[in-house]
Structure 1
Amino acid sequence: MHCTFEFDMNNNKEIYEFGKVAKQANGAVLLKSGKTVMLATVVMDKNPVEEDFLPLTVQYIEKSYAAGKIPGGFVKREQKPGDFETLTARIVDRAIRPLFPKGFLYPVVITVMVLSADEEADLQVLALNAASAALYVSDIPIRTAVCGIRVAKIDGEIVINPKLSQLENSTLDLYLAGTKDDLLMIEMRSIGTYEPEILPPSMVDPMLDPTLAEEVVMIKNPNAFDEEELSNIILQGKEAINSACSEYEKYFIEVAKEELEVEIKPEKIDENIWTYVDEIYKDDIYKAINAMAKSERAQHLEEIVKKIAEDEIAKEQGWEEDTIFKVVDKYKRKIVRDMILNERKRADGRGLKDVRKIDIETNILPSAHGSCLFTRGQTQALVVCTIGEKSAAQMYELLTSKGPEYEHFMVHYNFPPFSVGEARPIGAPGRRELGHGNLAKRALEPVVDVPEDKTIRLVSEILESNGSSSMATVCGGALALKAANIEIKDLVAGVAMGLVIENDKYAILTDIMGLEDHDGDMDFKVAGTKDGITALQMDIKLGGIEANILKEALIQAKEAREHILNIMEDAAKKIEINEENLPTSKTITVHPSKIAQIIGQAGKTIKEIIEKFEVNIDIEREKGKVKVTGKNKPKVIAACEHIKTIAQKEEEKIPQFKEGEILKGKVKRIANFGAFVELPGGIDGLLHISKLSSGRVEKVEDVVNIGDEVEVEVLNQKGHKIELALRQVFK
């Protein structure tokens, strides 16, 4: 049935069109918003998989033609997904996945294609809404709508679903997803703001003309949100989601297909095996749970399973090893959760709020610009900072951007299999690696003011993983920046929070390890400074979270963050910066007229400087800026001094005139504000238009022309600057 619904809410006008395209899919929708058109489809395989997991795949694909572009590169068609596409698909997946019931084993593929793009549209918000609509009206038996919104804070006001141009002026970027009853997912980052600041001559390193050195620069101020404010904003966003989902469901039900009959495979636990394990192997499982290393715990549990399978009763009853393993795994989960809820005790003996032991070493790599080995419990990240030139930035192009953009601060996260004891070769980074790297970047970016002429890259190599390696990346990344002598406004730390909840009992866990992530009900990563939160990411496994629990988790995370930051601050004080490794750049200012002497005839002088001091030199002629860059700091300084000497020698050659002195010269050049007169000694003086006559002069050429010989009076001389007044013209 062809049907169209139009919604105007949360600052978005959305038109959903059903029954027009992709009719062979289980569900499909065309979503239009402004100039944006998206096609979302849902297809389900009729045959369930044997494994006990939800085989859901989400694809988000941007077509270049949607923005009137042809793909760049040699092959003129869309290639593998870009980072934005991968991260958007991940967002949709995380919001949709909780809707499927436990035991749903049919492969499902959700595809969202951008067919037309509006440069002001928030494609991540629209992608989730389109995917949810296609799933809701399909014959797959899920009748719960999900809505995504973005929340900004602009000029102190909360704005729901801002335009992309508005988001540039926001201090907050908060993405929320949920149903009419529950909040399912949070992605948040704070955005640093820039304010103008005038640098005095002493900071710009003026040389011959201090008036040229004073400069207005944009200084970055980090923003962080305290827990109370952020909780209130999230609740405000949750209300907007609830009302939107109610509206969607009210109308979408009219065109929803008749539900298919699908088999929900119940979680079967053999009661006989459960009883046997409880009576005979309870203590063994307790010991396995308390094994410190993740790999040791898994090995102990496998040994218990094999031991049970070899028992006489197991052979008599025909218990299969796979069945025993499932029972042991569920029994292990019960013990872990019971310990936390009833004994307020965790598998490794910690209290609910305890952070694992932290060890920090900095600059352990002799040839790297900056490095930090951050270890927290059995999670270890080696984060390395590299400083490059501006040209080393990562070029990328978004569908909504007018042209190529450049990323000057990069965070790359690698998760090799050996970090969890798996015997697999290292492969290309997947969605998880991109997502974790993006989270760490969002946490650190507000405090990093990348120099205008630099590019900074952080690489996190996860060497061991048992709980929140992304937050270890944040901590190690902040210290690696410090170790590379990069100015950051504040240190940033991150911690992963967990939740176990059953009926009216709940426990919030600080610094969760892998076991608690696997058997818990929430994964909540919070990063920030001592002033507040700069980034967070939350995924709920149980269908939603109460407002009071959310706020309590944020407060508990703050306590942990401050504890970690204290340790990091102590480590930062002990950093020994390897100056010899760091690329050094120094900018000096000379008068633009001296640039020619620094370059020399046919570039001879500047080439000699580059070869002699092993540096690179960039020159801005109009501003008289000379930037010297090299790997050796003493050589950079020596090159700067050499350049100053060249300029000073030229300065010494400037003839000196007395105020009121009468001179003869020739008009060399004319501008709309006056004429330049060549004086004795080959130096030029400025004859301003106001000094051509006692009366008003409309046009310089009305009084003098190029080549005219003139008599002038010296009004003022400051080095190379000479102001003149016209006395007479010799025609």
Structure 2
Amino acid sequence: MHCTFEFDMNNIKERYDIGKVAKQANGAVLLQSGKTTMLATVVMDKTPVEEDFLPLTVQYIEKSYAAGKIPGGFVKREQKPGDFETLTSRVVDRALRPLFPKGFLNPVVITVMVLSVDEESDLQVLALNAASAALYVSDIPIRTAVSGLRVAKIGDEIVFNPKLSQLNESTLDLYLAGTKDDLLMIEMRSIATYESETLPSATVDPILDPTLAQEVILVKKPNAFKEEELAQIILQGKEAINTACQEYEKYFIEVAKSQVEVDIKPEKIDENIWTYIDEIYKDEIYKAINSMAKSERAEALTDIAKKITQDEIAKEQDWDEETILKVVDKYKRKIVRDMILKERKRADGRGLKDVREISIETNILPSAHGSCLFTRGQTQALVVCTIGEKTAAQMYELLTSKGPEYEHFMVHYNFPPFSVGEARPIGAPGRRELGHGNLAKRALEPVVDIPEDKTIRLVSEILESNGSSSMATVCGGALALRAANIETTDLVAGVAMGLVIEGDEYAILTDIMGLEDHDGDMDFKVAGTKDGITALQMDIKVGGIEASILKEALLQAKEARIHILDIMEDAAKNIEINEENLPTTETITVHPSKIAQIIGQAGKTIKEIIEKFEVNIDIERDKGKVKVTGKSKPKVVAACDHIKTITQKDEPEIPQFKEGEILKGKIKRIANFGAFVELPGDIDGLLHISKLSSGRVNRVEDVVNIGDEVEVEVLSQKGHKIELALRRVFK
């Protein structure tokens, strides 16, 4: 049965066609919004997997033809997904995964294909809405709608689902996903703005050049958000999502397929094993929990399970090691959660609000532009900053963009297996690595003042991981930028928060470690400056989170962030910048009339400066701007000082010749169009090929050669430009 539904909610008009296409899938919808068309399908395998995990796969795929484009590159078809496709797949996965009950083991594949695109459409919002609708109307036993919502702040106005052009004017980019009852996911970044300021020029003498003594510059404003304001905006968004989900469910239930039987395998805990562990091995499991490294803890729990299998009762009851290990893991989870909720302490002895010990070392890599080794507990990130030219930017193309775009600030996150004690080779970065790198970039980008002619790349190598490695990347990245002498408006720190909730009891955890991430109910990452939040990411494992708990978590994260920033500020004061390593650009402004002195006759002066100081020089004649770039800051500064010295000298007086005056000179240089003659007064004149003879001359060298002494007549003079005619050559 083909049905069509139209919705106009939260500033988005959507049309859903159900039962029209892809009818062999368990569920499918065709979503249209403006010129954007998406196909979302859901397919479930009837055979469950043996492993105890949800085998859910989400694929978001953009087709080039959707924007009237042919794929670039040698192969003219879509290849591996780009970063935006990967991150969007991850967003949809994180929002829909909580809907599946524990014990759902049938493989499910959700595919969203973009078939046509409107350049103003928010593809991440539409992708989630389409995927949720396809899942809702399918025969898979899930009847909960999820809605995505983008929130912007333009001026003082909160705007739901802004057009992409409006988002460019916003100071906030907040993405929410939730059901009619619960908020499931948050992604947020603040967007920096620029304000113009008129300042006295640092390079122009106001007495010599009063017209250039002041210059207008753009000053970056980070726009970090206060916790209370952000919590209020999130609450408004939650209410909008609630309304949307109720509308979806009201109409989609009419066409939803009859649900198929799916064998939900409930968690089975052998009570006899549980009781035996509680009586005999409780203290040993406590001790194993204190093995803070993931690999050590896993090994200790495995050893306990093996030990139990050797006990008489295990042999009598025929308990196998795999079953015992599952019970041990569940018992460990109970201990961890009980300690937190009842004793208000954690496995490593910390209080709920305590941050692990932090150590910071900067510029430990001699040849790198900037580096920071940031260690928090047993999480360690080595973050390295590299400064490149503008041409080193990463080129990418979005489906909604008219042409290629360039990324001048990159954050790449690597998670080698040895960081958690796993014996695996390093492979290509996956969704998790891309997601963590993107989160760190969103946290740092508002405070980084990227020179317009530069590209900055941060690489985070996670050397050890026991929770919150993405936030260690933020902290290490902020200091690596400072270590590379990159201007930042503020330092940025990040902290991962956790939540344990049982009924009406709950506990918010600061700076969670891997154990608490695994056994807790929330992963909540908050990054920002002392002024407020620049980036935020939340994933909830239980049904949702109350607004009051969310606000409390934000304020508790603020306490931790300020504590970490205090430590980072002390470390920043002790940074020793290796200026010999740093590529440097200095721009000085002179009066436009002085540019000729810098260039010199036939470029002689500027060539000497470039060779002597090993720099590159770019000149904007009209504005009098001289940009000096080099690999060594001392040499760049010395070149600038030399240029200032040249421009402060009195310009030599230009000799003045009369028309028809006869002069003697020497041929200095030959070109195809004529010869340059060195005249009295150390100035050159041009002897055009047409002025070498009364007849036709094919080659200048047929008449004169370099070094010849000649007698010439002055035809005209305009400043430095002197035109000559040949009278005779002295042989």
TM-score normalised by the shorter chain: which range applies?
0.7 to 0.9
Task: State whether residues 613 and 638 of structure 1, in contact with CA within 8 Å, keep that contact through their aligned partners in structure 2.
Answer: yes
| Deviation at residue 556 of structure 1 after TM alignment | 0.7
| Deviation at residue 449 of structure 1 after TM alignment | 1.4
Partner of 1:523: 523
Partner of 1:424: 424
| Deviation at residue 374 of structure 1 after TM alignment | 0.7
Task: State whether residues 184 and 543 of structure 1, in contact with CA within 8 Å, keep that contact through their aligned partners in structure 2.
Answer: yes
Task: State whether residues 579 and 634 of structure 2, in contact with CA within 8 Å, keep that contact through their aligned partners in structure 1.
Answer: no
| Deviation at residue 111 of structure 1 after TM alignment | 0.7
- Cα distance between partner residues in 2 of 1:634 and 1:353: 46
Partner of 2:504: 504
For residues 134-155 of structure 1, what are the alpha-carbon distances to aligned partners after superposition, in whole Å with 9 as ceiling and x for unaligned? Answer: 1000111110000000001111
Q: Which runs of 5+ in 2 are unaligned?
A: 660-681, 684-715, 721-731
| Deviation at residue 451 of structure 1 after TM alignment | 1.4
- Which stretch shifts more, 624-633 or 536-545? 624-633
Task: State whether residues 207 and 590 of structure 1, in contact with CA within 8 Å, keep that contact through their aligned partners in structure 2.
Answer: no
| Deviation at residue 619 of structure 1 after TM alignment | 2.4
Partner of 2:375: 375
Task: State whether residues 597 and 651 of structure 2, in contact with CA within 8 Å, keep that contact through their aligned partners in structure 1.
Answer: no
1:145-544 to 2 correspondence within 5 Å?
145-202=145-202, 209-212=209-212, 214-544=214-544
- Cα distance between partner residues in 1 of 2:151 and 2:479: 30
- Cα distance between partner residues in 1 of 2:439 and 2:205: 38
Partner of 1:72: 72
- Cα distance between partner residues in 2 of 1:617 and 1:470: 40
- Matched residue type, 1:544: G
For residues 257-290 of structure 1, what are the alpha-carbon distances to aligned partners after superposition, in whole Å with 9 as ceiling and x for unaligned? Answer: 1111110011111111111111111111011011
Partner of 1:583: 583
Q: Does 1:44 align with 2:41?
A: no
Quick one: structure 1 residues 603 and 134, their matched pair in 2 at CA, closer, same or farther if it must change by over 3 Å?
Answer: farther
1:688-727 to 2 correspondence within 5 Å?
none
| Deviation at residue 343 of structure 1 after TM alignment | 0.8
- Cα distance between partner residues in 2 of 1:654 and 1:528: 60
Task: State whether residues 355 and 510 of structure 2, in contact with CA within 8 Å, keep that contact through their aligned partners in structure 1.
Answer: yes
- Matched residue type, 2:413: Y
For residues 111-149 of structure 1, what are the alpha-carbon distances to aligned partners after superposition, in whole Å with 9 as ceiling and x for unaligned? Answer: 111111111111000000000001000111110000000
Identity %: 87
- Which stretch shifts more, 639-648 or 104-113? 639-648
For residues 450-509 of structure 1, what are the alpha-carbon distances to aligned partners after superposition, in whole Å with 9 as ceiling and x for unaligned? Answer: 111211111111000001000111111111111111111111111111000111111111
- Cα distance between partner residues in 2 of 1:321 and 1:497: 34
| Deviation at residue 641 of structure 1 after TM alignment | 3.6
- Cα distance between partner residues in 2 of 1:391 and 1:599: 26
| Deviation at residue 646 of structure 1 after TM alignment | 4.9
Counterpart of 1:341 in 2: which secondary structure?
helix
Quick one: structure 1 residues 598 and 541, their matched pair in 2 at CA, closer, same or farther if it must change by over 3 Å?
Answer: same
- Which stretch shifts more, 235-244 or 210-219? 210-219
- Cα distance between partner residues in 2 of 1:163 and 1:427: 38
- Matched residue type, 1:396: Y
- Matched residue type, 2:54: L
User: What is the RMSD computed on CA atoms of the aligned residues?
Assistant: 2.4
Partner of 2:96: 96
Q: Does 1:140 align with 2:167?
A: no
- Cα distance between partner residues in 1 of 2:107 and 2:286: 36
Quick one: structure 1 residues 207 and 132, their matched pair in 2 at CA, closer, same or farther if it must change by over 3 Å?
Answer: farther
- Cα distance between partner residues in 2 of 1:475 and 1:177: 27
Partner of 1:85: 85
Task: State whether residues 204 and 590 of structure 2, in contact with CA within 8 Å, keep that contact through their aligned partners in structure 1.
Answer: no
Counterpart of 2:498 in 1: which secondary structure?
strand
- The count of aligned residue pairs is 666
| Deviation at residue 604 of structure 1 after TM alignment | 5.4
- Cα distance between partner residues in 2 of 1:341 and 1:275: 22
Counterpart of 1:652 in 2: which secondary structure?
coil
- Cα distance between partner residues in 2 of 1:242 and 1:79: 38
- Which stretch shifts more, 584-593 or 307-316? 584-593
Partner of 2:706: none
- Matched residue type, 2:386: T
- Matched residue type, 1:42: V
Partner of 1:119: 119
- Cα distance between partner residues in 2 of 1:512 and 1:637: 46
Counterpart of 2:651 in 1: which secondary structure?
helix
| Deviation at residue 540 of structure 1 after TM alignment | 0.4
- Matched residue type, 2:56: L
Partner of 2:674: none
| Deviation at residue 365 of structure 1 after TM alignment | 1.0
Counterpart of 2:451 in 1: which secondary structure?
coil
| Deviation at residue 299 of structure 1 after TM alignment | 1.2
| Deviation at residue 610 of structure 1 after TM alignment | 2.4
- Matched residue type, 1:254: E
Q: Does 1:623 align with 2:603?
A: no
| Deviation at residue 216 of structure 1 after TM alignment | 2.3
| Deviation at residue 614 of structure 1 after TM alignment | 1.3
Task: State whether residues 411 and 460 of structure 2, in contact with CA within 8 Å, keep that contact through their aligned partners in structure 1.
Answer: yes
| Deviation at residue 6 of structure 1 after TM alignment | 0.3
- Cα distance between partner residues in 1 of 2:429 and 2:80: 13
- Cα distance between partner residues in 2 of 1:191 and 1:532: 13
For residues 648-691 of structure 1, what are the alpha-carbon distances to aligned partners after superposition, in whole Å with 9 as ceiling and x for unaligned? Answer: 568333699xxxxxx99xxxxxxxxxxxxxxxx99xxxxxxxxx
- Matched residue type, 2:378: Q
For residues 627-661 of structure 1, what are the alpha-carbon distances to aligned partners after superposition, in whole Å with 9 as ceiling and x for unaligned? Answer: 111112222223234444555568333699xxxxx
- Cα distance between partner residues in 2 of 1:527 and 1:607: 48
Task: State whether residues 521 and 542 of structure 1, in contact with CA within 8 Å, keep that contact through their aligned partners in structure 2.
Answer: yes
- Matched residue type, 1:611: E
Task: State whether residues 289 and 347 of structure 1, in contact with CA within 8 Å, keep that contact through their aligned partners in structure 2.
Answer: yes
Task: State whether residues 203 and 590 of structure 2, in contact with CA within 8 Å, keep that contact through their aligned partners in structure 1.
Answer: no
For residues 334-355 of structure 1, what are the alpha-carbon distances to aligned partners after superposition, in whole Å with 9 as ceiling and x for unaligned? Answer: 1111111111111001111111
Q: Which runs of 5+ in 1 are unaligned?
A: 657-662, 665-680, 683-708, 710-718, 721-731
Counterpart of 1:651 in 2: which secondary structure?
coil
| Deviation at residue 433 of structure 1 after TM alignment | 0.5
Task: State whether residues 200 and 215 of structure 1, in contact with CA within 8 Å, keep that contact through their aligned partners in structure 2.
Answer: yes
- Matched residue type, 2:122: D
1:661-680 to 2 correspondence within 5 Å?
none
1:601-680 to 2 correspondence within 5 Å?
605-647=605-647, 651-653=651-653
| Deviation at residue 595 of structure 1 after TM alignment | 4.3
Quick one: structure 1 residues 641 and 654, their matched pair in 2 at CA, closer, same or farther if it must change by over 3 Å?
Answer: farther
Quick one: structure 1 residues 205 and 3, their matched pair in 2 at CA, closer, same or farther if it must change by over 3 Å?
Answer: farther
For residues 416-450 of structure 1, what are the alpha-carbon distances to aligned partners after superposition, in whole Å with 9 as ceiling and x for unaligned? Answer: 00000001111111100010011111111111111
Task: State whether residues 442 and 535 of structure 1, in contact with CA within 8 Å, keep that contact through their aligned partners in structure 2.
Answer: yes
| Deviation at residue 607 of structure 1 after TM alignment | 3.9
| Deviation at residue 49 of structure 1 after TM alignment | 0.4
- Matched residue type, 2:530: K
| Deviation at residue 75 of structure 1 after TM alignment | 1.5
Quick one: structure 1 residues 339 and 205, their matched pair in 2 at CA, closer, same or farther if it must change by over 3 Å?
Answer: farther
Quick one: structure 1 residues 207 and 654, their matched pair in 2 at CA, closer, same or farther if it must change by over 3 Å?
Answer: farther
